[in-house]
């Protein structure tokens, strides 16, 4: 009954932590492609190839349902995977839709036509590859009309977080927020469109100011998965054990992951 969680590096651990808290009886198999991180500077074909390889590895662990806990993979690869690659009986879901449904105040799985919503000006902070894909804007257009999105590629933030340099990461956050505000001075809402960014949520909130609603993904994705599994319990795979896999050095990745989640995590080679 395991569910797979794919990530390009370590940011998806923020999602994994929320999933384990919300669904403590579900085994999760986490796959971090740490040998090839970051994805945010790679081209779409490269991201697609690497993501497919990771998802296949999770299927091999008995995970019929895989969550792409990586916005870059969700943006650059998910639609292509769903249309041309995912076989019958398997599902791959991304992290954008739960966030957009919360932003537009729609119920999980509401597929009614797009309509006007309260939020009119949205700031999107994401990796360069996610911004370039325009996947967030495309998914938003399925659910809402009349929303202006200003996207800011946040180069360097993921690297600083993964290196543990939070002073640099905070400085970069403030710089990127300032750059966006020059183009959109008064956003109604801000979307943290990278699973690393919840670790910098306080810095984003401080730079944006108290009048901007900030949307972060981990808890929203966990609530969405709980709802999905209540409706589709058949998508729980045959796997029975929780484990963490990495394409990188298991010891080094484990040390960084322990810092991310504030608890010890052991990784095995993927």
What is the CATH classification number for the domain harbouring 161?
3.40.50.1860
Which sequence positions are flagged as catalytic? 70, 194
Regarding whether 108 and 90 lie in a shared domain, the answer is no
Regarding whether 153 and 127 lie in a shared domain, the answer is yes
Regarding whether 181 and 136 lie in a shared domain, the answer is yes
Q: What is the pLDDT of residues 80-124, one digit of tens each?
A: 999 989 999 999 999 888 888 888 887 766 778 889 999 999 999
Order across the sheet with 189-192: list the strands. 148-153, 121-126, 189-192, 213-215
Element (H, E) at 159: helix 157-162
Helix axes 166-183, 201-208, angle to 10 degrees: 40
Q: What percent of the chain has pLDDT over 70?
A: 98
State mean pLDDT over 172-179: 98
The CB density around residue 235, as the number of other CB atoms within 10 Å, is 18
Q: Is the pTM of this model over 0.85?
A: yes
Q: What residue numbers bound the domain in which 185 lies?
A: 97-215
Range from 11-15, 21-25, 178-182 that averages highest in pLDDT = 178-182
Tokens at 88, concatenated = 């019958």
Q: How confident is the model at residue 26 (pLDDT cuts 50, 70, 90)?
A: very high
> Which of residues 169, 194, 215 is at a domain's end?
215
Number of domains composing the chain: 2
Q: What percent of the chain has pLDDT over 90?
A: 67
Regarding whether 139 and 7 lie in a shared domain, the answer is no
Tokens at 23, concatenated = 């669904």
Regarding whether 141 and 102 lie in a shared domain, the answer is yes
Q: What is the pLDDT of residues 212-254, one digit of tens each?
A: 999 989 999 999 999 889 888 888 767 678 999 999 999 999 9
Which has more pLDDT, 27 or 240?
27
Regarding whether 73 and 29 lie in a shared domain, the answer is yes
Q: How confident is the model at residue 167 (pLDDT cuts 50, 70, 90)?
A: very high
């Amino acid at each position: 009954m395991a569910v797979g969680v794919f990530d390009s590096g370590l940011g998806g651990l923020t999602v994994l932590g929320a999933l384990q808290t919300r669904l403590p009886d579900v085994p999760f198999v986490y796959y971090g492609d740490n040998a090839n991180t970051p994805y945010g500077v790679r081209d779409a074909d490269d991201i697609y190839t690497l993501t497919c390889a990771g998802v296949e590895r999770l299927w091999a662990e008995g995970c019929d349902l895989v969550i792409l806990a990586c916005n870059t993979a969700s943006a650059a690869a998910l639609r292509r995977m769903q249309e041309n690659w995912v076989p019958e009986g398997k599902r791959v879901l991304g992290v954008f839709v739960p966030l957009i449904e919360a932003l537009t105040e729609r119920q999980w799985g509401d597929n009614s036509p797009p309509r006007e919503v309260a939020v009119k000006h949205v700031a999107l902070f994401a990796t360069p590859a996610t911004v370039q894909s325009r996947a967030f804007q495309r998914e938003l257009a399925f659910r809402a009309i009349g929303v202006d999105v200003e996207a800011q590629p946040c180069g360097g933030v993921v690297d600083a977080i993964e290196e543990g340099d939070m002073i640099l990461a905070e400085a970069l956050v403030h710089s990127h927020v300032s750059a966006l505000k020059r183009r959109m001075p008064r956003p109604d809402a801000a979307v943290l469109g990278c699973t690393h960014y919840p670790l910098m949520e306080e810095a984003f909130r401080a730079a944006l100011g108290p009048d901007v609603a900030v949307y972060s993904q981990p808890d929203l994705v966990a609530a969405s998965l709980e709802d999905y599994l209540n409706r589709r319990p058949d998508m729980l795979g045959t796997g029975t054990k929780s484990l963490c896999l990495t394409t990188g050095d298991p010891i080094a990745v484990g040390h960084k992951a322990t810092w991310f989640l504030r608890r010890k995590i052991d990784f095995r080679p993927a």
